[in-house]
Chains A and B, each alone.
Chain A
Amino acid sequence: MNSPSKGFELAGVSVLYEEHPALLDFDLRVRPGEALAFVGPSGAGKTTALGLCNATVRPTSGSVSLDSEDLSEAANARLRELRARIGFIPQELGLIPNLRVSQNVLAGRLGHQGLFASLRPLLRAGSAELEKVLAILDRLGIGEKLFHRVDSLSGGERQRVAIARTLYQEADYLIADEPLSALDPARARETISLLTEVARENELGLILSLHDIELAREFIPRLIGLRRGRVLFDKPAKDVTEDELAELYRLEDTDRVS
């Protein structure tokens, strides 16, 4: 899984949404297997930064590359291959509520499969595939939910289904947008701990956006403070000072625009 790769490189990236800057002159390097989190107030550009990494957001200027390959120049088929290497858990999880847990997890490998190969798991999955899914669900503690419909699960269980899908995807990176936003404090701690642990076990690069600065400092080794589309700091979590955090979250009248 870990070929001699160089990871993500974003150089001089700016993203404008109809003249409104979401990110300005942004530089970032992510090494394989590294764990980092974007922190900062709403509207700072965290989600945009994540979107650049799986090419769902296109840079207005600058370049985004994975293992020295420019994402915005990749052709259709190649882009799919690259995206298949990058797991993604959006804020709302992106699960298919009226399908079973097994089908949702099996969907993780769609990017690796041709159209016809991907029809079978939707209609009738093979036992080998299901056993693999079950092993992952067991590891996450929700094995008994294998054939339950996702809309019958609790929020925490759904979160685990989303993580299971990324593990089944056998991705090299996991991008998660605000994975703790809808959880109570105890469950938030449990989830971030699970995420980092699973990432370490599977040698997944972990790229998160987090609003809970305390949990971010405790669990994520590298923090990138974003404010109004600019990098305020990019350093090991233990070196982030209180002054920097105060600056990061300082309220200004214009900041209330999300």
Chain B
Amino acid sequence: MSAEAFQRRPSSFSRRGRLLFALLLAALLSWISLGLSLEDLVPREGGRSILALFMEGALNPAFDYEAASVPEGTPPLLVKVAGAAANTLLFAIAGMSLSLIIGLVLGFLGSTSWWAAEGAVSPLGRGPLRKLMPLLYAGVRALIALMRSVHELLWAILFLAAFGLNNFSAVIAIAIPYGGTLAKVFSELLDECPRESARNLRAIGAGPIQVFLWGLLPRAIGDMSAYSFYRFECAVRSSAILGFFGYPTLGYFLRLSAENVHYREVWTYLYALIVIVIVLELWSTKLRARMVIR
């Protein structure tokens, strides 16, 4: 009997070996077909001076305009940087708050834990409608995939064409792909979190949304908020880049300064972005410590 068990030893090595080989091959092929060579990273004659100028700016960011003269009534550079940073945050917050709602709703609908479990009471009831549950689930997963497979810059191009350069175009351009990504990760976190509290609440008569809010959400909320913080950081960067389309965020001014070869100003804007990200990081670390440890 035990000899038989030994015979059934999984042939994991060969399968793992094959997978590893395929991954290595894919990496190698991509490098070869793109013709990547480290020589490409050696700057050319003209590029070298630009690079030097750019790196110099890093050590010596601007506190005032580099241009000899600026038009009458232009605010001081640092005021402009602060305003651009505030706008960057505003777009990120507006986009993120919308995507959190999308992420929570679709994440709930896209997780299997509230309907596939034994004895579960699904939102579609226990009658014949229950047979539609896999369909609803598949539809939500497809929607989530669609939302996040298009990058926020592409959404922005679409909405700018449709609605023009208004602030809402930028906010939903962020909210859609971010909502999709949050929904995917939320649904997976909800599915992975231990279900015994949820099962128990269900057994004493709680409805599906109550089970979700009381039994699942509290158990996943730590990981969910950590991930949301990370996404917020990404939203700040996206919001800055949306400035390239003309929104008054850091990207807009960064681009203008770069076009004028005012690299010291570029670095001032970059440092503002870096400071925002660092402050967010510190804040999230503090919050997480309070949530997890105790």
Note whether A and B form a binding pair.
Answer: yes
Task: Mark A residues whose CB is within 8 Å of B.
Answer: 51, 54-58, 75-76, 79-90, 92-99, 107-108, 110-113, 115, 118-119, 122, 149, 151-152, 169, 171
- Is B205 within 8 A of A98, CB to CB? no
The residues of A that contact B213 with a CB separation of less than 8 Å are 118-119, 122
- Is A98 within 8 A of B219, CB to CB? yes
**In which size bucket is the chain B interface?**
20 to 34
The residues of B that contact A86 with a CB separation of less than 8 Å are 203-205
Of B68-76, B117-125, B145-153, B234-242, the one contacting chain A is: B117-125
- Is B207 within 8 A of A80, CB to CB? yes
List 21 A–B pairs whose Cβ atoms lie within 8 Å, in order of A's numbering: A54-B203, A55-B119, A56-B118, A56-B203, A57-B119, A58-B119, A76-B121, A80-B207, A83-B204, A88-B200, A92-B196, A96-B218, A97-B197, A99-B218, A107-B214, A110-B210, A111-B204, A111-B206, A112-B205, A115-B210, A152-B294
Per-position binary interface string of chain B over residues 209-232, scored 1 when its CB falls under 8 Å from any chain A CB and 0 otherwise: 110011100110110000000000
B141 within 8 Å of A by Cβ?
no
Which residue of the partner chain B has the closest CB to A171?
A: B204
Task: Mark B residues whose CB is within 8 Å of A.
Answer: 118-119, 121, 125-127, 196-197, 199-207, 209-210, 213-215, 218-219, 221-222, 291, 294
The residues of B that contact A111 with a CB separation of less than 8 Å are 204-206
Extra 4 A-B pairs, beta carbons < 8 Å, given A75-B126, A93-B200, A96-B215: A51-B119, A79-B121, A83-B205, A88-B200
Which residue of the partner chain A has the closest CB to B220?
A: A98
The residues of A that contact B221 with a CB separation of less than 8 Å are 98
The residues of B that contact A92 with a CB separation of less than 8 Å are 196
- Is A94 within 8 A of B121, CB to CB? no
Known contacts A80-B121, A115-B209: A94-B214 contact under CB 8 Å = no
Sorted from nearest, which 5 A-B pairs have the closest CB atoms? Answer: A111-B205, A94-B200, A84-B205, A83-B205, A56-B119
Which residue of the partner chain B has the closest CB to A121?
A: B214
The residues of A that contact B294 with a CB separation of less than 8 Å are 149, 151-152
Expressed in whole angstroms, the minimum distance between the Cβ of A254 and any Cβ of chain B is 14
The residues of A that contact B127 with a CB separation of less than 8 Å are 75-76
Expressed in whole angstroms, the minimum distance between the Cβ of A15 and any Cβ of chain B is 12
The residues of B that contact A56 with a CB separation of less than 8 Å are 118-119, 199, 202-203
Expressed in whole angstroms, the minimum distance between the Cβ of A116 and any Cβ of chain B is 10
The residues of A that contact B121 with a CB separation of less than 8 Å are 76, 79-80
Distance in angstroms between the alpha carbons of A37 and B214 in the assembled complex = 30
The residues of A that contact B118 with a CB separation of less than 8 Å are 56-57
- Is B201 within 8 A of A80, CB to CB? no
Expressed in whole angstroms, the minimum distance between the Cβ of A109 and any Cβ of chain B is 9
Known contacts A79-B126, A111-B204: A95-B210 contact under CB 8 Å = no
The residues of A that contact B196 with a CB separation of less than 8 Å are 90, 92-94
Distance in angstroms between the alpha carbons of A96 and B205 in the assembled complex = 16
- Is B201 within 8 A of A107, CB to CB? yes
Known contacts A56-B119, A75-B125, A86-B204: A98-B199 contact under CB 8 Å = no
- Is A90 within 8 A of B207, CB to CB? no
Which residue of the partner chain A has the closest CB to B222?
A: A98
Distance in angstroms between the alpha carbons of A107 and B119 in the assembled complex = 19
- Is B126 within 8 A of A80, CB to CB? no
Expressed in whole angstroms, the minimum distance between the Cβ of B207 and any Cβ of chain A is 6
Expressed in whole angstroms, the minimum distance between the Cβ of B220 and any Cβ of chain A is 10
- Is A90 within 8 A of B199, CB to CB? yes
Which residue of the partner chain A has the closest CB to B203?
A: A88
Distance in angstroms between the alpha carbons of A97 and B9 in the assembled complex = 39
- Is B214 within 8 A of A96, CB to CB? yes
The residues of B that contact A118 with a CB separation of less than 8 Å are 206, 210, 213-214
The residues of B that contact A82 with a CB separation of less than 8 Å are 205
- Is B204 within 8 A of A108, CB to CB? yes
Known contacts A57-B119, A79-B126: A110-B197 contact under CB 8 Å = no
Expressed in whole angstroms, the minimum distance between the Cβ of A12 and any Cβ of chain B is 21
Which residue of the partner chain A has the closest CB to B127?
A: A75
Known contacts A96-B197, A149-B294: A76-B202 contact under CB 8 Å = no
Expressed in whole angstroms, the minimum distance between the Cβ of A34 and any Cβ of chain B is 20
Distance in angstroms between the alpha carbons of A113 and B204 in the assembled complex = 12
Contact of A81 among B119, B200, B205 (CB under 8 A): B205
Known contacts A55-B119, A57-B119, A118-B210: A83-B126 contact under CB 8 Å = no
The residues of B that contact A122 with a CB separation of less than 8 Å are 213-214
The residues of A that contact B200 with a CB separation of less than 8 Å are 88-90, 93-95
- Is A110 within 8 A of B222, CB to CB? no
Expressed in whole angstroms, the minimum distance between the Cβ of B123 and any Cβ of chain A is 9
- Is B126 within 8 A of A76, CB to CB? yes
